[in-house]
Amino acid sequence: MTEHFWDRDDWLEVWEKVKSADILVIGTPLWLGEESSVCRVLIERLYGMSALLNDKGQSIYYGKVGGSVITGNEDGVKHAAMTICYALSHLAIPSRRRPIAAGSERRVRGCHMATKRTMEAALVMSDNAFTQRNTTIMTWNLMHLARMLKTVGGYDNYGNDRNALHDGSHSGIENPDYRG
């Protein structure tokens, strides 16, 4: 953003951390039933990098897993989780919205972010059994899935190589989305 006359832009430092991570958890407080504007900017910045490819010619996000931590109560948690997890899936980062399934939506009840507390502090401060249990489930599920992807070397390249699909074919299979 410095080229647009902002004093500074910390995105490149954040981006380096995202690139090197296997697990991406997006945290946000609720604001009028929605994710915060800072969370939305993060999602937009992540999307802005989505044209980048990894060494296999796949999306730069292939091999990462993601989840969400949302502070607040029932005033928009599911909606914000749905929005965040949809954005992650659109970037090819597998995530889940339901708390029990593969688990990535986590509510932090009983802790409202009215002050400058961090998400980490919110989780540590929470003595709510629901929050503690579901945060633990999400953490383990994200670690297991990330380890499985790392162990097999990420996604198979067949059908996932953007460079091979660029000319409209992949090993003789026509790409129906190729527009010339």
Tens-place pLDDT, residues 128-149 = 777 778 888 888 888 999 999 9
Q: What is the pLDDT of residues 76-88, one digit of tens each?
A: 888 888 899 899 9
Average pLDDT over residues 157-165: 76
Query: Phi, psi at residue 134, to the nearest 5°?
Result: -75, -30
Q: Which of these ranges, 68-77, 100-109, 148-157, has the smallest mean pLDDT?
A: 100-109
60 has pLDDT over 90: yes
User: Which pLDDT belongs to residue 132?
Assistant: 77
To the nearest whole number, what is the mean pLDDT of the chain?
A: 76
Q: What is the pLDDT of residues 105-135, one digit of tens each?
A: 444 443 333 333 444 554 555 667 777 788 8
User: Which pLDDT belongs to residue 157?
Assistant: 83
Strands 23-31, 65-71: pairing kind: parallel
CA–CA gap between residue 148 and residue 50 (Å, rounded): 23
User: Which pLDDT belongs to residue 110?
Assistant: 37
Task: Decide if 95 contacts 85 (C-beta within 8 A).
Answer: yes
Domain spans of the chain, in order of start: 2-174
User: Which pLDDT belongs to residue 4?
Assistant: 60
Name the class of domain 2-174: alpha beta
Of 139, 137, 100, whose CA–CA distance to 120 is shortest?
Answer: 139
Alpha helix (H) ranges present in 1-128? 11-20, 37-48, 77-90, 119-125
Would you state the structure tokens that stand for residue 10, as one six-digit string?
């910390």
